[in-house]
Protein backbone atom coordinates (compact mmCIF):
# COMPACT_ATOMS: atom_id res chain seq x y z
CA UNK A 1 0.00 0.00 0.00
CA UNK A 2 1.30 3.46 -0.88
CA UNK A 3 0.26 6.69 0.79
CA UNK A 4 -0.45 9.71 -1.37
CA UNK A 5 -0.33 12.14 1.56
CA UNK A 6 1.21 11.58 4.96
CA UNK A 7 -1.28 10.93 7.74
CA UNK A 8 0.14 12.54 10.92
CA UNK A 9 -0.24 10.94 14.31
CA UNK A 10 -2.46 12.55 16.92
CA UNK A 11 -2.44 11.63 20.57
CA UNK A 12 -5.50 13.63 21.44
CA UNK A 13 -7.34 10.73 22.97
CA UNK A 14 -10.56 12.29 21.77
CA UNK A 15 -12.07 9.04 20.68
CA UNK A 16 -14.09 8.34 17.58
CA UNK A 17 -16.19 11.39 16.77
CA UNK A 18 -15.81 11.29 12.99
CA UNK A 19 -15.39 14.48 10.99
CA UNK A 20 -14.06 15.57 7.61
CA UNK A 21 -10.94 17.03 9.22
CA UNK A 22 -9.73 13.46 9.73
CA UNK A 23 -10.85 11.79 6.55
CA UNK A 24 -9.19 9.88 3.75
CA UNK A 25 -10.02 8.42 0.39
CA UNK A 26 -8.99 4.77 0.00
CA UNK A 27 -8.55 3.30 -3.45
CA UNK A 28 -9.53 -0.33 -2.99
CA UNK A 29 -9.58 -3.39 -5.27
CA UNK A 30 -12.53 -5.67 -4.48
CA UNK A 31 -12.97 -9.17 -5.85
CA UNK A 32 -16.07 -9.66 -7.98
CA UNK A 33 -18.03 -11.87 -5.64
CA UNK A 34 -21.15 -11.33 -3.51
CA UNK A 35 -20.58 -9.68 -0.15
CA UNK A 36 -17.19 -8.12 -0.93
CA UNK A 37 -18.36 -4.54 -0.51
CA UNK A 38 -20.42 -5.49 2.54
CA UNK A 39 -17.25 -6.81 4.15
CA UNK A 40 -15.50 -3.49 3.42
CA UNK A 41 -18.37 -1.47 4.91
CA UNK A 42 -18.49 -3.72 7.96
CA UNK A 43 -14.75 -3.27 8.57
CA UNK A 44 -15.14 0.51 8.51
CA UNK A 45 -18.13 0.40 10.85
CA UNK A 46 -16.48 -2.03 13.27
CA UNK A 47 -13.51 0.34 13.55
CA UNK A 48 -15.87 3.19 14.47
CA UNK A 49 -15.54 5.05 11.19
CA UNK A 50 -18.14 6.64 8.95
CA UNK A 51 -18.47 5.63 5.33
CA UNK A 52 -18.68 8.66 3.06
CA UNK A 53 -18.57 8.96 -0.73
CA UNK A 54 -18.20 5.80 -2.83
CA UNK A 55 -16.97 6.20 -6.41
CA UNK A 56 -16.52 3.48 -9.00
CA UNK A 57 -13.14 3.90 -10.72
CA UNK A 58 -13.20 0.95 -13.11
CA UNK A 59 -14.62 -2.53 -13.54
CA UNK A 60 -12.41 -5.46 -14.50
CA UNK A 61 -13.17 -9.07 -15.25
CA UNK A 62 -12.24 -10.23 -11.76
CA UNK A 63 -12.45 -7.10 -9.65
CA UNK A 64 -13.90 -3.63 -9.16
CA UNK A 65 -11.79 -0.63 -8.18
CA UNK A 66 -13.49 1.93 -5.97
CA UNK A 67 -12.54 5.15 -4.20
CA UNK A 68 -14.05 5.01 -0.73
CA UNK A 69 -14.05 8.01 1.62
CA UNK A 70 -13.97 7.37 5.37
CA UNK A 71 -14.28 9.80 8.29
CA UNK A 72 -12.50 9.37 11.62
CA UNK A 73 -12.24 11.11 14.99
CA UNK A 74 -8.49 11.73 14.88
CA UNK A 75 -5.44 10.61 12.94
CA UNK A 76 -4.83 7.55 15.12
CA UNK A 77 -8.45 6.53 14.63
CA UNK A 78 -8.02 6.94 10.87
CA UNK A 79 -5.02 4.62 10.98
CA UNK A 80 -7.12 2.00 12.78
CA UNK A 81 -9.82 2.22 10.12
CA UNK A 82 -7.28 1.79 7.34
CA UNK A 83 -5.75 -1.19 9.14
CA UNK A 84 -9.18 -2.78 9.54
CA UNK A 85 -9.92 -2.35 5.85
CA UNK A 86 -6.52 -3.73 4.87
CA UNK A 87 -7.24 -6.89 6.85
CA UNK A 88 -10.38 -7.76 4.85
CA UNK A 89 -9.92 -10.93 2.80
CA UNK A 90 -10.16 -10.45 -0.96
CA UNK A 91 -9.55 -6.71 -0.75
CA UNK A 92 -6.42 -4.75 -1.60
CA UNK A 93 -5.82 -1.11 -0.59
CA UNK A 94 -3.87 0.47 -3.44
CA UNK A 95 -3.26 3.81 -1.73
CA UNK A 96 -4.63 6.24 0.84
CA UNK A 97 -5.08 9.97 0.26
CA UNK A 98 -5.49 12.20 3.31
CA UNK A 99 -8.18 14.64 2.13
CA UNK A 100 -7.04 17.48 4.41
CA UNK A 101 -3.46 17.27 3.15
CA UNK A 102 -4.72 17.17 -0.42
CA UNK A 103 -6.74 20.35 0.17
CA UNK A 104 -3.59 22.15 1.30
CA UNK A 105 -1.33 21.05 -1.57
CA UNK A 106 0.09 24.18 -3.20
CA UNK A 107 -1.50 26.43 -0.58
CA UNK A 108 -5.03 27.81 -0.40
CA UNK A 109 -4.54 31.29 -1.87
CA UNK A 110 -3.65 32.99 -5.12
CA UNK A 111 -3.49 36.56 -6.41
CA UNK A 112 -5.77 37.40 -9.32
CA UNK A 113 -6.02 40.78 -11.10
CA UNK A 114 -9.25 42.77 -11.00
CA UNK A 115 -8.68 44.13 -14.49
CA UNK A 116 -7.75 42.16 -17.63
CA UNK A 117 -4.59 42.92 -19.58
CA UNK A 118 -5.51 42.10 -23.17
CA UNK A 119 -4.27 45.07 -25.16
CA UNK A 120 -1.46 47.63 -25.15
CA UNK A 121 -3.98 50.18 -23.91
CA UNK A 122 -4.80 47.97 -20.91
CA UNK A 123 -1.11 47.63 -20.09
CA UNK A 124 -0.37 51.32 -20.50
CA UNK A 125 -3.13 52.25 -18.01
CA UNK A 126 -2.56 49.46 -15.47
CA UNK A 127 1.20 49.92 -15.51
CA UNK A 128 3.57 52.31 -17.23
CA UNK A 129 3.21 55.03 -18.28
CA UNK A 130 -0.33 55.61 -16.94
CA UNK A 131 0.28 54.37 -13.41
CA UNK A 132 2.71 57.24 -12.80
CA UNK A 133 -0.23 59.63 -12.81
CA UNK A 134 -1.89 57.59 -10.06
CA UNK A 135 1.28 57.59 -7.97
CA UNK A 136 1.61 61.34 -8.42
CA UNK A 137 -1.99 61.88 -7.33
CA UNK A 138 -1.38 59.87 -4.14
CA UNK A 139 1.90 61.69 -3.48
CA UNK A 140 0.04 65.00 -3.70
CA UNK A 141 -2.84 63.74 -1.52
CA UNK A 142 -1.95 60.61 0.52
CA UNK A 143 -5.60 60.05 1.47
CA UNK A 144 -6.25 58.97 -2.13
CA UNK A 145 -4.38 55.72 -1.38
CA UNK A 146 -7.69 54.51 0.07
CA UNK A 147 -9.63 54.91 -3.18
CA UNK A 148 -6.91 54.21 -5.76
CA UNK A 149 -5.22 51.09 -4.31
CA UNK A 150 -5.98 47.78 -2.66
CA UNK A 151 -5.52 49.39 0.78
CA UNK A 152 -9.27 50.01 1.00
CA UNK A 153 -10.03 46.29 1.21
CA UNK A 154 -6.84 44.58 2.38
CA UNK A 155 -5.86 43.24 5.79
CA UNK A 156 -2.52 41.82 6.93
CA UNK A 157 -2.76 38.66 9.03
CA UNK A 158 0.37 38.82 11.17
CA UNK A 159 1.76 35.94 13.23
CA UNK A 160 5.09 34.84 14.66
CA UNK A 161 3.95 31.23 15.02
CA UNK A 162 4.28 31.11 18.79
CA UNK A 163 0.70 30.21 19.78
CA UNK A 164 -0.80 28.38 16.83
CA UNK A 165 -4.13 26.69 17.56
CA UNK A 166 -3.44 24.23 20.37
CA UNK A 167 -0.01 23.40 18.99
CA UNK A 168 1.97 26.12 20.73
CA UNK A 169 5.24 27.57 19.41
CA UNK A 170 5.65 25.76 16.09
CA UNK A 171 7.28 28.55 14.10
CA UNK A 172 6.26 30.88 11.27
CA UNK A 173 6.47 28.28 8.50
CA UNK A 174 4.15 25.89 10.32
CA UNK A 175 1.81 28.81 11.09
CA UNK A 176 1.44 29.66 7.40
CA UNK A 177 -1.31 27.10 6.60
CA UNK A 178 -3.40 28.48 9.45
CA UNK A 179 -2.92 32.08 8.31
CA UNK A 180 -3.78 31.05 4.76
CA UNK A 181 -6.98 29.51 6.08
CA UNK A 182 -7.75 32.71 7.94
CA UNK A 183 -7.33 34.67 4.71
CA UNK A 184 -9.75 32.32 2.95
CA UNK A 185 -12.33 32.95 5.69
CA UNK A 186 -11.88 36.73 5.39
CA UNK A 187 -12.62 36.57 1.67
CA UNK A 188 -15.39 34.00 1.79
CA UNK A 189 -17.42 35.55 4.60
CA UNK A 190 -16.48 39.24 4.54
CA UNK A 191 -15.30 39.93 1.01
CA UNK A 192 -12.02 41.15 2.54
CA UNK A 193 -8.69 40.54 0.79
CA UNK A 194 -6.36 39.32 3.52
CA UNK A 195 -2.76 38.19 3.20
CA UNK A 196 -0.70 36.04 5.60
CA UNK A 197 2.43 37.65 7.00
CA UNK A 198 4.40 35.10 9.06
CA UNK A 199 7.41 36.69 10.74
CA UNK A 200 10.67 34.92 11.56
CA UNK A 201 11.13 36.76 14.83
CA UNK A 202 9.76 36.62 18.36
CA UNK A 203 11.20 39.99 19.33
CA UNK A 204 8.41 42.43 20.19
CA UNK A 205 10.36 45.47 18.99
CA UNK A 206 11.12 43.81 15.66
CA UNK A 207 7.52 42.63 15.17
CA UNK A 208 6.23 46.16 15.82
CA UNK A 209 8.81 47.76 13.50
CA UNK A 210 8.04 45.27 10.74
CA UNK A 211 4.28 45.71 10.90
CA UNK A 212 4.60 49.49 10.97
CA UNK A 213 6.88 49.33 7.92
CA UNK A 214 4.38 47.12 6.06
CA UNK A 215 1.28 49.07 7.06
CA UNK A 216 0.99 51.51 4.08
CA UNK A 217 -0.35 48.70 1.90
CA UNK A 218 -3.05 47.58 4.33
CA UNK A 219 -6.33 48.96 5.66
CA UNK A 220 -6.13 46.90 8.83
CA UNK A 221 -3.91 44.55 10.84
CA UNK A 222 -5.18 41.25 12.23
CA UNK A 223 -2.75 39.87 14.81
CA UNK A 224 -2.97 36.11 15.12
CA UNK A 225 -1.46 33.32 17.21
CA UNK A 226 1.13 35.43 19.05
CA UNK A 227 1.78 34.10 22.53
CA UNK A 228 0.92 35.95 25.73
CA UNK A 229 2.07 38.16 27.29
CA UNK A 230 3.97 39.50 24.24
CA UNK A 231 0.75 39.77 22.23
CA UNK A 232 -0.59 42.41 24.64
CA UNK A 233 2.49 44.60 24.16
CA UNK A 234 2.51 44.14 20.38
CA UNK A 235 -1.13 45.14 20.06
CA UNK A 236 -0.85 48.07 22.45
CA UNK A 237 2.16 49.57 20.68
CA UNK A 238 0.72 49.07 17.21
CA UNK A 239 -2.56 50.68 18.23
CA UNK A 240 -0.64 53.67 19.58
CA UNK A 241 1.42 54.00 16.39
CA UNK A 242 -0.90 53.18 13.48
CA UNK A 243 -3.99 55.00 12.24
CA UNK A 244 -5.62 51.82 10.93
CA UNK A 245 -7.43 49.13 12.92
CA UNK A 246 -5.25 46.69 14.85
CA UNK A 247 -7.20 43.69 16.11
CA UNK A 248 -5.80 40.68 17.94
CA UNK A 249 -8.39 38.10 16.99
CA UNK A 250 -7.35 35.60 19.66
CA UNK A 251 -8.39 38.22 22.19
CA UNK A 252 -11.15 40.35 20.79
CA UNK A 253 -12.67 37.99 18.22
CA UNK A 254 -13.03 35.34 20.90
CA UNK A 255 -14.51 37.84 23.35
CA UNK A 256 -17.12 39.03 20.83
CA UNK A 257 -18.35 35.55 19.98
CA UNK A 258 -18.35 34.33 23.59
CA UNK A 259 -20.36 37.35 24.71
CA UNK A 260 -22.88 36.87 21.89
CA UNK A 261 -23.30 33.19 22.71
CA UNK A 262 -23.58 33.86 26.44
CA UNK A 263 -26.22 36.57 25.99
CA UNK A 264 -28.37 34.12 24.08
CA UNK A 265 -27.64 31.20 26.43
CA UNK A 266 -28.73 33.30 29.40
CA UNK A 267 -31.97 34.09 27.60
CA UNK A 268 -32.61 30.38 27.16
CA UNK A 269 -32.05 29.55 30.84
CA UNK A 270 -33.78 32.68 32.14
CA UNK A 271 -30.81 34.24 33.96
CA UNK A 272 -29.20 37.70 33.87
CA UNK A 273 -25.52 38.34 33.28
CA UNK A 274 -25.46 40.58 36.37
CA UNK A 275 -26.58 37.71 38.59
CA UNK A 276 -24.63 34.69 37.38
CA UNK A 277 -21.41 33.25 38.73
CA UNK A 278 -18.87 32.60 35.96
CA UNK A 279 -15.73 30.45 36.12
CA UNK A 280 -13.07 30.83 33.41
CA UNK A 281 -10.16 28.45 32.89
CA UNK A 282 -7.35 29.90 30.83
CA UNK A 283 -6.40 33.51 31.55
CA UNK A 284 -4.10 34.12 28.60
CA UNK A 285 -4.92 36.35 25.66
CA UNK A 286 -8.40 34.97 24.98
CA UNK A 287 -9.36 34.52 28.63
CA UNK A 288 -8.27 37.99 29.70
CA UNK A 289 -10.02 39.75 26.81
CA UNK A 290 -13.19 37.70 27.22
CA UNK A 291 -13.31 38.45 30.93
CA UNK A 292 -12.90 42.20 30.35
CA UNK A 293 -15.67 42.12 27.74
CA UNK A 294 -18.04 40.20 30.04
CA UNK A 295 -17.36 42.67 32.86
CA UNK A 296 -18.14 45.55 30.50
CA UNK A 297 -21.37 43.79 29.56
CA UNK A 298 -22.45 43.70 33.21
CA UNK A 299 -21.00 40.51 34.73
CA UNK A 300 -20.10 40.94 38.40
CA UNK A 301 -18.81 37.58 39.60
CA UNK A 302 -16.07 36.08 37.42
CA UNK A 303 -13.39 33.77 38.79
CA UNK A 304 -10.38 33.05 36.59
CA UNK A 305 -8.27 29.91 37.00
CA UNK A 306 -4.89 28.78 35.77
CA UNK A 307 -3.10 25.49 36.40
CA UNK A 308 -2.48 26.49 40.03
CA UNK A 309 -6.14 27.25 40.74
CA UNK A 310 -8.07 30.48 41.19
CA UNK A 311 -6.49 33.86 40.66
CA UNK A 312 -6.92 36.25 43.58
CA UNK A 313 -5.33 39.52 44.63
CA UNK A 314 -2.04 38.91 46.38
CA UNK A 315 -1.56 35.32 45.18
CA UNK A 316 2.20 34.68 45.18
CA UNK A 317 4.00 34.35 41.87
CA UNK A 318 1.47 36.07 39.62
CA UNK A 319 2.73 37.79 36.48
CA UNK A 320 1.79 41.47 36.03
CA UNK A 321 -0.93 40.42 33.58
CA UNK A 322 -2.40 37.87 35.99
CA UNK A 323 -2.19 40.35 38.87
CA UNK A 324 -4.21 42.84 36.81
CA UNK A 325 -6.72 40.08 36.03
CA UNK A 326 -7.02 39.14 39.72
CA UNK A 327 -7.65 42.76 40.67
CA UNK A 328 -10.73 42.84 38.43
CA UNK A 329 -12.20 39.46 39.33
CA UNK A 330 -12.92 36.93 42.09
CA UNK A 331 -14.99 39.21 44.35
CA UNK A 332 -15.43 36.39 46.90
CA UNK A 333 -11.66 35.78 47.00
CA UNK A 334 -11.95 32.06 46.31
CA UNK A 335 -8.69 30.18 46.91
CA UNK A 336 -9.20 26.75 45.43
CA UNK A 337 -8.92 24.58 42.34
CA UNK A 338 -10.93 25.17 39.18
CA UNK A 339 -13.02 22.11 40.04
CA UNK A 340 -13.90 23.50 43.44
CA UNK A 341 -14.64 26.95 41.98
CA UNK A 342 -17.33 25.35 39.80
CA UNK A 343 -19.41 24.43 42.86
CA UNK A 344 -22.69 26.31 42.40
CA UNK A 345 -21.44 28.29 39.39
CA UNK A 346 -23.92 29.16 36.60
CA UNK A 347 -21.45 29.42 33.72
CA UNK A 348 -18.20 27.71 32.83
CA UNK A 349 -16.04 29.16 30.06
CA UNK A 350 -13.08 27.04 29.01
CA UNK A 351 -10.30 28.76 27.07
CA UNK A 352 -7.57 26.42 28.20
CA UNK A 353 -7.03 22.77 27.32
CA UNK A 354 -8.37 19.24 27.72
CA UNK A 355 -8.93 18.14 31.30
CA UNK A 356 -8.98 21.65 32.77
CA UNK A 357 -12.07 20.61 34.75
CA UNK A 358 -13.64 17.24 35.46
CA UNK A 359 -17.13 16.01 34.58
CA UNK A 360 -17.82 15.50 38.28
CA UNK A 361 -17.05 19.17 38.98
CA UNK A 362 -19.37 20.27 36.16
CA UNK A 363 -22.14 18.19 37.71
CA UNK A 364 -21.84 20.29 40.89
CA UNK A 365 -22.69 23.50 39.04
CA UNK A 366 -25.98 25.35 39.61
CA UNK A 367 -29.21 24.14 37.99
CA UNK A 368 -29.58 24.98 34.29
CA UNK A 369 -25.82 25.43 33.98
CA UNK A 370 -24.08 26.72 30.85
CA UNK A 371 -20.80 25.16 29.69
CA UNK A 372 -18.60 26.63 26.97
CA UNK A 373 -15.73 24.15 26.54
CA UNK A 374 -13.79 25.73 23.70
CA UNK A 375 -10.38 24.06 23.65
CA UNK A 376 -9.78 22.72 20.16
CA UNK A 377 -9.63 20.03 18.95
CA UNK A 378 -10.26 18.43 22.36
CA UNK A 379 -12.64 20.35 24.67
CA UNK A 380 -11.86 20.86 28.35
CA UNK A 381 -14.63 18.38 29.13
CA UNK A 382 -16.27 16.17 26.52
CA UNK A 383 -19.93 17.02 25.79
CA UNK A 384 -20.86 13.31 25.86
CA UNK A 385 -19.78 13.15 29.51
CA UNK A 386 -21.99 16.00 30.74
CA UNK A 387 -24.87 16.28 28.26
CA UNK A 388 -27.42 15.03 30.80
CA UNK A 389 -26.12 17.27 33.59
CA UNK A 390 -26.17 20.81 32.16
CA UNK A 391 -28.66 22.88 30.17
CA UNK A 392 -26.41 24.26 27.41
CA UNK A 393 -23.11 23.04 25.96
CA UNK A 394 -21.03 24.88 23.38
CA UNK A 395 -17.59 24.05 21.98
CA UNK A 396 -15.16 25.35 19.38
CA UNK A 397 -15.76 22.34 17.15
CA UNK A 398 -17.90 22.20 14.05
CA UNK A 399 -19.14 18.67 14.72
CA UNK A 400 -21.11 19.60 17.86
CA UNK A 401 -24.05 22.01 18.17
CA UNK A 402 -23.31 25.59 19.25
CA UNK A 403 -19.91 26.09 17.67
CA UNK A 404 -18.29 29.22 19.11
CA UNK A 405 -16.03 30.23 16.25
CA UNK A 406 -14.24 33.52 15.65
CA UNK A 407 -15.20 33.39 11.98
CA UNK A 408 -18.58 34.66 13.16
CA UNK A 409 -16.90 37.91 14.21
CA UNK A 410 -13.74 38.98 12.42
CA UNK A 411 -14.99 39.09 8.78
CA UNK A 412 -17.86 41.39 9.71
CA UNK A 413 -15.78 43.45 12.15
CA UNK A 414 -13.15 44.22 9.51
CA UNK A 415 -15.79 44.68 6.80
CA UNK A 416 -17.43 47.40 8.88
CA UNK A 417 -14.09 48.96 9.81
CA UNK A 418 -12.83 49.01 6.22
CA UNK A 419 -16.10 50.35 4.84
CA UNK A 420 -15.80 53.37 7.16
CA UNK A 421 -12.00 53.52 6.85
CA UNK A 422 -11.90 53.42 10.63
CA UNK A 423 -8.76 54.53 12.43
CA UNK A 424 -9.18 51.86 15.11
CA UNK A 425 -11.55 49.23 16.48
CA UNK A 426 -12.99 50.48 19.74
CA UNK A 427 -14.64 48.55 22.60
CA UNK A 428 -17.93 50.08 21.48
CA UNK A 429 -17.47 48.57 18.03
CA UNK A 430 -16.71 45.16 19.57
CA UNK A 431 -19.79 45.31 21.81
CA UNK A 432 -21.94 46.31 18.84
CA UNK A 433 -20.56 43.30 16.95
CA UNK A 434 -21.50 40.96 19.81
CA UNK A 435 -25.02 42.36 20.03
CA UNK A 436 -25.53 42.04 16.27
CA UNK A 437 -24.23 38.48 16.33
CA UNK A 438 -26.55 37.52 19.17
CA UNK A 439 -29.49 39.13 17.38
CA UNK A 440 -28.81 36.99 14.30
CA UNK A 441 -30.60 34.20 16.19
CA UNK A 442 -34.25 35.20 16.26
CA UNK A 443 -36.13 34.85 19.58
CA UNK A 444 -38.35 32.10 18.21
CA UNK A 445 -35.26 30.17 17.07
CA UNK A 446 -33.40 30.25 20.38
CA UNK A 447 -32.91 26.85 21.95
CA UNK A 448 -30.40 25.00 24.09
CA UNK A 449 -28.75 23.61 20.96
CA UNK A 450 -29.00 26.85 18.96
CA UNK A 451 -27.61 29.87 20.79
CA UNK A 452 -25.22 31.05 18.08
CA UNK A 453 -25.65 31.21 14.30
CA UNK A 454 -23.97 28.78 11.96
CA UNK A 455 -20.69 29.94 10.47
CA UNK A 456 -22.37 29.42 7.09
CA UNK A 457 -25.19 31.84 7.86
CA UNK A 458 -24.51 34.45 5.18
CA UNK A 459 -26.54 37.08 7.04
CA UNK A 460 -24.07 37.22 9.93
CA UNK A 461 -21.14 39.17 8.42
CA UNK A 462 -23.35 41.90 6.88
CA UNK A 463 -25.24 42.30 10.17
CA UNK A 464 -22.01 42.57 12.15
CA UNK A 465 -20.47 44.91 9.57
CA UNK A 466 -23.45 47.27 9.70
CA UNK A 467 -23.37 47.39 13.50
CA UNK A 468 -19.60 47.93 13.60
CA UNK A 469 -19.73 50.69 10.98
CA UNK A 470 -22.47 52.52 12.85
CA UNK A 471 -20.50 52.22 16.10
CA UNK A 472 -17.37 53.55 14.36
CA UNK A 473 -19.26 56.60 13.20
CA UNK A 474 -20.71 57.17 16.68
CA UNK A 475 -17.25 56.80 18.23
CA UNK A 476 -15.77 59.34 15.81
CA UNK A 477 -13.14 56.97 14.40
CA UNK A 478 -14.65 56.68 10.90
CA UNK A 479 -13.09 58.56 8.01
CA UNK A 480 -16.26 58.31 5.95
CA UNK A 481 -19.83 57.06 6.08
CA UNK A 482 -20.36 53.42 5.21
CA UNK A 483 -23.04 54.43 2.71
CA UNK A 484 -20.42 55.84 0.38
CA UNK A 485 -19.33 53.32 -2.25
CA UNK A 486 -15.67 52.29 -2.32
CA UNK A 487 -15.33 53.38 -5.95
CA UNK A 488 -17.27 56.63 -5.64
CA UNK A 489 -16.24 58.87 -8.58
CA UNK A 490 -16.33 61.79 -6.18
CA UNK A 491 -13.07 60.48 -4.77
CA UNK A 492 -11.31 60.71 -8.14
CA UNK A 493 -9.31 63.76 -9.23
CA UNK A 494 -11.25 66.42 -11.14
CA UNK A 495 -10.00 68.81 -13.78
Q: Which residues are catalytic?
A: 127, 182
C-alpha distances in Å from residue 492, one per residue of 61, 144, 272, 481, 495:
70, 8, 51, 17, 10
110, 116 Cβ separation under 8 angstroms: no
Q: Measured between alpha carbons, how far is residue 416 from residues 55, 293, 420, 432 in Å?
A: 44, 20, 6, 11
Asked if 359 and 331 touch (Cβ cutoff 8 Å), the reply is no
6 CB-near residues (< 8 Å, 6+ apart): 98, 101
- The CA-CA-CA angle for residues 271, 272, 275, to 5°, reads 100
Which residue(s) pair with 30 in the sheet? 64, 91
- Strands across the sheet with 2-3, in order? 2-3, 91-98, 19-31, 63-72, 50-59
CA distances (Å), 229 to each of 176, 284, 328, 329, in order? 22, 7, 18, 19
Judge if the upstream peptide bond of residue 229 is cis by omega within 30 degrees of 0: yes
Burial annotation 61-94 (CB, 10 A radius, 16+ → b, else e)? eebbbbebbbbbbbbbbbbbbbebbeebeebebe
CA–CA dist 222, 85 (Å, integer): 44
Amino acid sequence: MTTTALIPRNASGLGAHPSASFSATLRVHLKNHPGSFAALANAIASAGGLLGAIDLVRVGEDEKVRDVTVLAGDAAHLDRIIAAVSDVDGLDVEHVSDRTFLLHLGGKLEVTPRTPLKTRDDLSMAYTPGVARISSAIAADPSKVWSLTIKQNTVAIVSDGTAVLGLGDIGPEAALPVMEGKAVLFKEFGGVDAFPICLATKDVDEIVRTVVALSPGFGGINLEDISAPRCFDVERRLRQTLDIPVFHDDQHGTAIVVLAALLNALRVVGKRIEDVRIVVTGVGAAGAATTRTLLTAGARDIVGCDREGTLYAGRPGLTPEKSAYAALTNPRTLRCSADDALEGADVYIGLSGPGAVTPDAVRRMAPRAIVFAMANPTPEVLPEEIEDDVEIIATGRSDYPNQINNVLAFPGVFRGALDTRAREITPEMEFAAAQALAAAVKPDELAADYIIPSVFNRDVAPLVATAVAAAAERAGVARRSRGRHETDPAELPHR
